[in-house]
Amino acid sequence: MPRGDGMLTHELDPQDRGPQDACGVFGIYAPEEEVSKLTYFGLYALQHRGQESAGIASSSGDKILVYKDMGLVSQVFDEGSLSALRGHIAVGHARYSTTGASTWANAQPTLGPTKHGTVALGHNGNLTNTHTLLDLVTERLGADRRASLEHGGATDTAILTALLGWDRYETVTETALELLPHVEGAYCLAFMDEETLYAARDPQGVRPLVLGRVPSGGWVVASETAALDIVGAIFEREVEPGEFLTIDASGVHSRHFAKAKPKGCVFEYVYLARPDTHINGRSLQAARVEMGRQLAREAPVEADMVMPTPESGTPAAVGYAQGSGIPFGQGLVKNAYVGRTFIQPSQTLRQLGIRLKLNPLREQIEGKRLVVVDDSIVRGNTQRAVVAMLRESGAAEVHLRISSPPIQWPCFYGIDFPTRDELIGVRMSVNEIRDHLGADSLSYISVEGMIAATEQAEERLCTACFTGEYPIEPPINAKHLLVNQPVEVTS
């Protein structure tokens, strides 16, 4: 999945995709603005969180209009489609599927009937109790509605949208506040009816969600602060774990549907979110540079140049250079205009490996001892190709430094990791990985060093993909992904 901000290095090998985030959400209530265009630009800033489909719903107070399609934000929308999305309320979504097929039918926002109108919903995250929620659909909406959902693939977003249509209560707010305590897993929701914008975040706050103020009057919710910046909104605060917001003409109204048990995803700090985003007051650029400095302290080596694997390794490579005193340099040039291709390469092109996207600067590499910094290793195919390419260009030594610990466990909260037996950090020791990649040395940052760089308390972070300590019980139907390994559930 190509990342819109150019940060994904592992897509260089389509069989070695990096960790894929689920989605980006954006919602706005702004009577004085062209909300569809602001939503478009907000989604543009969140493109790295999902590139399979994009959609926007809008309302002027009487009906909801939705436009969505497969593809990148810039491919889905044009002036004509945005102009048709009139109104002062909008919800936008950029999707990467972790549940449900990558098809138009599963693109978001999803639409569903409510007692007095319609709801349009966008979701970032992954639910862990969809089977229980389907039972709730049967109980509240009937067996036929459940059968319809299951026939359509029963994505967690579709299930939530259906349950928000339960007609026991008069308002969407009442229905949502009754429903959300039944929902388990990671979720940040931005949704709307004809008159009101809503937002909700799970009690663990696994995925980020922020609230911003529109200077002309109005409010924005978004997955990252970078999306506030691009539309000129002023950061107000994080949406709290377990918080439900309603936003309408009278302003922002907050309620808590569950006690906060913060467990923010540490991989947002390492890799997922944009470097110009802030989470819990911490600049992710600063966190990643500090991870590089810590890596230099933990894993020093004599070398002539520190270089990143573009682009996601760059902040940590800068930090490693600062921490080690070894000069920073660019040894690889990335072609910024190569995106996902559905053309299968010929054998000749396969043998060229990753050169379609990365090409070496021989004059920077030849004869030098290199420290190559990357954010993570999933299967290792990309790093192996990079090491081979650097050696072909005359590198004297290649030392790999990784600014996250070995990934050893699957994520059930919205990141699409491979199964456990596909993770190279599970199948091999560090020395075996080093030999497999063809490097002279390989070192990962420690869990403790990574956490320290985030400037967050350890007990407020989810580190499950590194430690196997899951703060939310994994779904029953996904336990096979753990390959019969024990699961530790932490409070």
CA distance 437 to 155: 38
Alpha helices (runs of H) in 187-306, residue ranges in sequence order: 225-230, 266-267, 284-298
Asked if 258 contacts 245 with a C-beta cutoff of 8 angstroms, the reply is no
Helix spans in 55-142 (H): 73-76, 79-84, 130-141
Tokens coding 478 = 């996904």
Alpha helices in 27-155 (DSSP H): 35-45, 73-76, 79-84, 130-141, 143-151
Q: Point out the residues that are catalytic.
A: 23
What is the spatial distance between Cα 96 and Cα 51, in angstroms, rounded to a whole number? 6
- Phi (first) and psi of residue 26, to 5 degrees: -150, 135
Query: Structure tokens of 314?
Result: 């760059």
Cα 330 → chain centroid: 27
Q: How far is residue 363 CA from its own chain's centroid?
A: 36
Tokens 């993909």, located at residue: 465
H-helix or E-strand spanning residue 351: helix 347-351
Closest CA to 24 of 206, 227, 191, 185: 227
Residue 399's alpha-carbon distances to 109, 380, 437, in angstroms, are 45, 15, 10
- Spatial contact of 173 and 208, defined as CB atoms under 8 Å apart: no
Residue 487, both tokens:
């699961």
Q: Which residues pair with 400 in a beta bridge?
A: 372, 442
| Cβ atoms of residues 464 and 126 within 8 Å | no
Rounded-to-integer distance, Cα 55 and Cα 16, Å: 28
Which H or E element spans position 172?
helix 172-179
CA Rg, the chain, in Å? 23
User: Rounded to an integer, what distance in angstroms lies between the CA atom of residue 164 and that of residue 149?
Assistant: 14
Strand partners, 196: none
Using DSSP, state whether 251 is helix, strand or coil.
strand
CA distance linking residue 437 with residue 487, whole number of Å: 30
Beta carbons within 10 angstroms of residue 246's beta carbon: 20
